[in-house]
Amino acid sequence: MPIPLPRQDLRAFKAYGQRPIGDAIRLNANEWPEPTAAGAYLTQDELDRLLLNRYPGPAAEIRTILSKQYGVRPDQLMFGNGSNDTIMQLFLVFGGHGRTTLLFQPTYNLHGRFTAIAGGSLANEMIGLPYRLTRERALDAAARTRPHVVCFCTPNNPTGTVIEDDVILAVAERYPETLVLVDEAYADIAGRTLLPAIAAHSNLVISKTFSKVHAAAGLRFGILVMHPELAESVRSIQISFNVSVVTYALATKIARDEAAVRKRISLVRSERERVFRAMRKVDGIEPFPSEANFILFRVGGDTAAAQARFLEQGIALRDMAPWAGCEGCLRVSIGTPRENDRFLAAVSSVFATATA
């Protein structure tokens, strides 16, 4: 029976995202490894007071909290159903037919997917591994491609590399009519942000998320921070009521728990360095330094086979070979200390088997 088909340019897309894999330890999706129970933040009485029969309001409380934490005005914040939702809306407004997005590969591949869904064109500048994006390289790529949108992911996913502020700001200053998106999903772990630069750069947009150090990937709460004039124009176009009252209520409580965030950042940094040092001692792999909550490592050969050998030992990793510039690579998320011990034991076993 005939069925409607997507646009021709979208038909090759596969579903994105890593689904749960049985009882395997999930070190494949850059989530926070320890559970965050909603009941730890909202009581039954607070839940009962939420008006599910009404559309969500302006979310004044979470706006006030985050504006103070970020050092911006409340009206500079836009919210969405996860950061992917907010970024997709940005591409629908500033991308689209006849418009080009510049990416520095390898990088977060959903930025390329959003470009295609919005109907825009993609310009890829291949930086490769190790990932070192210089000011000169970024400016040269922008001059050649004349993009309408430029995306920087810092720390970069999947490499974990921080892009220096002067690289990003040089592009923002040279091309003031180009939207410069800075994806800071992992910036809290690195302890760096470009939020203070928004005041002087009206074309700068910074994406934040509760999916990492706030340990709330399942909550789906994403934030865009931008210049007030830019926010006003985007707000007039964005999809209304795209965040639920339950999400707002939980996000408000989670945002107040800054001590928990600091504790998580300290733990993930120490565990990441411990795992990285151990991986460097294993023959047959090449781990790349990271300032995020994951480590990209090159194994060479058949990455799918290597991924399968890890899964046999109860460890789910991400095969990065399909991502541009990541041929021969896997990525491991940093888990709990016990999970990291399991991973390191599996690393030695998998590659001893592979070279036997």
Report how far Cα 122 is from the mean position of its chain's Cα atoms: 19
Instruction: Assess if residue 179 is contained within a domain.
Output: yes
Asked if residue 293 and residue 268 are part of one domain, the reply reads yes
Each residue's pLDDT tens digit, 252-262: 999 999 999 99
Q: What is the pLDDT of residue 237?
A: 87
Task: Average the pLDDT over each of 22-31, 101-110, 141-150, 155-164 and give the range with the smallest value.
Answer: 22-31
Task: Average the pLDDT over each of 14-28, 70-84, 187-201, 291-305 and give the range with the smallest value.
Answer: 14-28
Give CA separation, 47 vs 64, 84, 93, 253, in Å: 21, 26, 35, 12
Q: What is the pLDDT of residue 153?
A: 98
Each residue's pLDDT tens digit, 166-211: 999 999 999 999 999 999 999 999 999 999 999 999 999 999 999 9
Q: What is the pLDDT of residue 353?
A: 59
* Location of structure tokens 């970069």: 156
Asked if residue 56 and residue 135 are part of one domain, the reply reads yes
- Domain extent, residue 275, equals 18-35+259-355
Mode of pairing for the β-strands spanning 222-226 and 315-316:
unpaired
**What distance, in Å, lies between the first and last C-alpha atoms of the chain?**
52
Instruction: Assess if residue 5 is contained within a domain.
Output: no
Asked if residue 265 and residue 252 are part of one domain, the reply reads no
Instruction: Assess if residue 2 is contained within a domain.
Output: no
Contact 42, 253 (CB under 8 A): yes
Is the model's pLDDT at 297 over the cut of 90? yes
Instruction: Assess if residue 13 is contained within a domain.
Output: no
Contact 332, 313 (CB under 8 A): no
Task: Average the pLDDT over each of 64-68, 162-166, 212-216, 234-238 and give the range with the smallest value.
Answer: 234-238
State the Cα–Cα distance between residues 208 and 79, nearest whole angstrom: 10
Please tell me whether the peptide bond between 130 and the residue prior to it is cis, using omega within 30 degrees of 0. Answer: yes
Tokens matching residue 295: 């480590």
Q: What is the pLDDT of residue 73?
A: 97
CATH (domain of 346): 3.90.1150.10
Identify the domain boundary among 256, 286, 306. Answer: 256
CATH (domain of 122): 3.40.640.10
Q: What is the pLDDT of residue 356?
A: 47
Average confidence score pLDDT of the chain: 95
- The four Cα atoms 161, 166, 171, 175 give a dihedral, to 10 degrees, of 150
State the Cα–Cα distance between residues 266 and 245, nearest whole angstrom: 31
DSSP 164: P
Percent of the chain with pLDDT over 90: 87
Identify the domain boundary among 204, 227, 256. Answer: 256
DSSP 289: P
Question: 223 — phi, psi (to 5°)?
Answer: -135, 140
Q: What is the pLDDT of residue 19?
A: 66
Asked if residue 193 and residue 340 are part of one domain, the reply reads no
Contact 104, 248 (CB under 8 A): no
Mode of pairing for the β-strands spanning 204-209 and 179-183:
parallel
Cβ-based neighbours of 49, under 8 Å, separated by 6 or more: none
β partners of residue 261: none
The residue among 178, 179, 197 whose CA lies nearest residue 187 is 197
Cβ neighbour number for residue 215 with a 10 Å cutoff: 20
Instruction: Assess if residue 195 is contained within a domain.
Output: yes
Cβ neighbour number for residue 242 with a 10 Å cutoff: 17
State the Cα–Cα distance between residues 85 and 221, nearest whole angstrom: 9
Asked if residue 323 and residue 222 are part of one domain, the reply reads no
Q: What is the pLDDT of residue 300?
A: 79
Instruction: Assess if residue 3 is contained within a domain.
Output: no
